[in-house]
Amino acid sequence: EAGVAQSPRYKIIEKRQSVAFWCNPISGHATLYWYQQILGQGPKLLIQFQNNGVVDDSQLPKDRFSAERLKGVDSTLKIQPAKLEDSAVYLCASSLDLDTQYFGPGTRLTVL
Amino acid sequence: DQQVKQNSPSLSVQEGRISILNCDYTNSMFDYFLWYKKYPAEGPTFLISISSIKDKNEDGRFTVFLNKSAKHLSLHIVPSQPGDSAVYFCAGQTGANNLFFGTGTRLTVIP
Per-position pLDDT tens, chain B of length 111: 689 999 999 999 999 999 999 999 999 999 999 999 999 989 999 999 999 999 999 999 999 999 999 999 999 999 999 999 999 999 999 887 889 999 999 999 999
Q: How far is CA A88 from the centre of its chain?
A: 11
Give A-chain residues touching B96 at CB under 8 angstroms: 48, 55-56, 98
Q: Flag if B97 and A102 touch (Cβ within 8 Å).
A: no
Question: How far does the CA of residue B102 sit from the closest CA of chain A (Å)?
Answer: 5
Distances (CA, A) of A71 to A3, A50, A52, A53, A76: 19, 11, 6, 10, 11
Chain A residue with minimum CA distance to B7: A41
Q: Flag if A91 and B43 touch (Cβ within 8 Å).
A: yes
Q: Flag if A43 and B89 touch (Cβ within 8 Å).
A: yes
